[in-house]
Amino acid sequence: MLPRLRLPAVLGLVLLSLSGCSMVSSRASAPSDMASPPIGDLPPRPADPLAAFAARAQLGQEELVGSPPVPVRLMRAYNSGGGRPCRQLLLGSMATGRQALYCETMPGQWDAVRPLLQNGPPIRP
């Protein structure tokens, strides 16, 4: 058999739960010091030398990029399914290098993206 709760205890629980609701709604409507800054106030992102190379390189072009310098070659240039220009880069040598993929996310801004297919066809010169 369940113990019977007293009326003051039940009223106290109801009032406590209602006061919590009012705190949540007042927090949601009040301006917060933790609000994110306007986009214009964000610090500039550090320059990514691979993104700069992907933006300017021609197909097959290779140069030393970064610090320490690593040979990077533009292997493929294509448009994604969404229409964004993308560049597939090879970092290092053909035998031991790794792939990197950069796409233009905004006009003039290139960002590293994950390849859709992780085990896609091998890079060919």
What is the side-by-side strand order in the sheet with 85-91?
62-65, 70-79, 85-91, 98-106, 109-113
> Residues 91-114, buried b or exposed e (16+ Cβ, 10 A)?
beeeeebebbbbbbeeeeebeeee
Give the rounded percent of residues in the chain with a pLDDT score beyond 70.
Answer: 56
Q: Is the pLDDT of residue 117 over 90?
A: no
pLDDT digits (tens, 9 = 90+) for 4-24: 555 555 445 544 454 444 444
pLDDT at 119: 52
Other beta carbons less than 10 A from residue 86's beta carbon: 19
In degrees to the nearest 10, what's the CA dihedral of 16, 18, 22, 28?
100
